[in-house]
Structure 1
Amino acid sequence: MKVLVTGIAGFIGSHLAEKLYKNGHEIVGVDNFSDYYDINLKRENARALKNLGITIIERDLRVASLVNALPAEIDYIFHCAAQPGIASTSSFEDYLTNNIIATHNLTDFAAQFLKLKMFINIGTSSIYGKDVFCDEEQMAKPISNYGVTKLAAEQIVMSHSRLGDFPACSLRLYSVYGSRERPDKMFSQLIDCALNKKKFPLFEGSLAHKRSFTHINDIINGITSIIGNEKQCDGQVINLGTDQEYTTAQGIETVERLLNTKIELTMEPARSGDQLRTKAVIDKAQRLINYKPTVNLDDGVLEQIEWVKNKLNR
């Protein structure tokens, strides 16, 4: 099968492309190599994928008319590209153009394929709002520009399924971590602080925040399980995470214990739009795609620690 992966040089996109390639699919990726974080990290991911024989097109999806830029005869589209997070450095226009306009352009492109088997949108639990412990029927109440625009992007994709233009589903991911994680994410920062004796910036009140920290391997297994289950997934929104719940304090303690060190904390003002709790309810994923997350927090964080150490050694 021929698969298009957007945001292929990023954290989730690069892992997804590797897995799909190992499963025997022909992969074409697209990425705009934005400077939201160190572009060299994306270039490194891209080089590794190109060494496998994966084609990567450098293209900004916000530019209309993708017909001549991207390949025809695509079987699956996995849409990972987005303006992520709730960083104060990102403007509303960044979220608007990268999450809504880019998705609109991509769905216009996808609508030309009469034989597209599935458009898989990579969404987020931020769509639900401040305190998340619910199934997919819960009314969305996003509290950040990120959540608002990702909800809009999801609805753009799902509208095409409703209209019969092409089959589509949206996967709402929960607190993904692991090797290649963005440097601004919690475990990346904690490991860096532990190894390099830096202070960890703790947002006020966040020690008690709760998350379903989900390892990248479990997430990728869930995403790729859509292939072969297209009929039951068409038109569906599906949570992907773990039903285990941890506080930020437990996340910090895990890194400290595994690295046998103490991380010094420095207090930062609370972030607007930060969620208090995100616990994944995954009954639907278990039913539709036999989704079974297996990586516990210790093993997952250890995998990320070993990846960081190997990277430093290189």
Structure 2
Amino acid sequence: MNEQKIKKVLVTGMAGFIGYHLAKLLVKSGYHVVGLDNINDYYDPNLKLARLKDLGFNVDEISYNTLLEIENTAFIKLDLTDLENVKTLFKNQQFDVVVNLAAQAGVRYSLKNPHVYVDSNITGFLNILESCRSYPVEHLIFASSSSVYGLSEQVPFHEDNVTDHPLAMYAASKKANEMMAHSYANLFNIPCTGLRFFTVYGPWGRPDMALHLFTKAMVEDKEFEVFNNGDMSRDFTYVGDIVESVKRLIPLAPKENNPLFDPKNPVTSKSSKAYQLFNIGNNSPVALMDFVRAIEKALGKKGKIKFKPMQPGDVQSTYANVQSLYDYIQFKPSTNLEDGVQAFVERYLKLNT
């Protein structure tokens, strides 16, 4: 596929953290981007509206199922569970590529609100697949998660590790997405690439994530909780590296009959159909307390830490093997943690002080 041929990309979850950054990069790179988001209240909708405003939209004009258009960009407030209107959008816009980032996020939220994950992450994704079936696209890229590795301690995590032991509904829904995409690639020839994101952070990040929570508490001189007594590590991945990877993947749709797939010895990440999975992480896990110290350095003050035991549904460590993705796109995340945290803190202070 020729990158210049691609004209129009649907980015679902465009008012979200990664979706906002991806839309900004794709528009800058010459793509026509249509964004979709339901702007729900899982966290403060004003942050989502601020992201859309930064993309150039007049947020006062947003209303349900109404397409707002500005130069090379459009936005529609729409819920993916609304199949009729989602299909109408596909019919009218004739997308070349779809990047599905819309999902109900959060591990701990899923312990109290499991039905939301079925609605948003399974029914919503099914509606994306059905729309791609009715109005074919050249490539569907969809967000999975490092949480699918669950109980596995085979680190660094490789795409072909067993992922049959998820620890929460969020992880289970992302595992389901991978299997659903494979079935549609098989039945309806939809080229699908799934991306297992590893702890994405950076400017405009979600307020329910550790970086935002820790920074907010330090700025306000309040106590904050660190779980498992701080004995945790994460493969923190800077959002700029994430969206650069997605951009590079857009013209590289998988093809059928992958010679690396052996049906007598099948692996998770490849298929005889046009389907593939990649880890997308920094390949360099960071101790949680080092992460806290990076925030303290960026703010120039010490945090007031309250150590707590491990939370249900959480894991002690994540660590991505990203060799397959690097071999495919000749790029791997490399942003220094201190630089990434500094960029977040600067944006946080602009938005909140």
TM-score normalised by structure 1 residue count:
0.94
> In the TM superposition, what is the alpha-carbon distance from 1:62 to its structure 2 partner?
1.2
2:254–2:275 CA contact under 8 A, matched in 1: no
Give 1:188's aligned residue: 212
Match of 2:131 among 92, 103, 109: 109
Residue type of the alignment partner of 1:61 = L
Residue type of the alignment partner of 1:31 = D
Give 1:67's aligned residue: 87
> In the TM superposition, what is the alpha-carbon distance from 1:157 to its structure 2 partner?
1.7
> C-alpha separation between the residues in 1 aligned to 2:121 and 2:330?
29
> In the TM superposition, what is the alpha-carbon distance from 1:158 to its structure 2 partner?
2.3
> In the TM superposition, what is the alpha-carbon distance from 1:166 to its structure 2 partner?
1.3
Match of 1:137 among 155, 160, 163: 160
Give 1:47's aligned residue: 53
Give 1:229's aligned residue: 252
Residue type of the alignment partner of 1:107 = L
Match of 1:15 among 15, 21, 27: 21
> In the TM superposition, what is the alpha-carbon distance from 1:261 to its structure 2 partner?
1.2
Residue type of the alignment partner of 2:235 = S
Give 2:189's aligned residue: 165
Give 2:348's aligned residue: 308
> In the TM superposition, what is the alpha-carbon distance from 1:269 to its structure 2 partner?
5.0
Residue type of the alignment partner of 1:170 = G
1:158–1:169 CA contact under 8 A, matched in 2: no
What pairs with 1:130-279 in structure 2 (closer than 5 Å)? 130=151, 131=153, 133-140=156-163, 141-203=165-227, 205=228, 207-231=230-254, 234-268=274-308, 270-279=310-319
Unaligned runs of 5+ in 2: 1-6, 58-69, 256-269
Worse-matched range after superposition: 36-45 or 149-158? 149-158
Unaligned runs of 5+ in 1: none
- Structure 1 residue 122 and structure 2 residue 143: aligned? yes
- Structure 1 residue 77 and structure 2 residue 98: aligned? yes
Give identity over the alignment, percent. 30
State the Cα RMSD in Å. 1.7
TM-score normalised by structure 2 residue count:
0.84
Between structure 1 and structure 2, the one with the greater Rg is 2
Residue type of the alignment partner of 1:181 = G
> C-alpha separation between the residues in 2 aligned to 1:266 and 1:139?
35
1:206–1:248 CA contact under 8 A, matched in 2: no
Instruction: Describe the superposition over 1:38-73 as per-residue Cα deviations: whole angstroms up to 9, x where unpaired.
Output: 011111112222446421111111122222244431
Number of residue pairs matched? 311
2:254–2:276 CA contact under 8 A, matched in 1: no
> C-alpha separation between the residues in 2 aligned to 1:172 and 1:206?
27
Give 2:11's aligned residue: 5
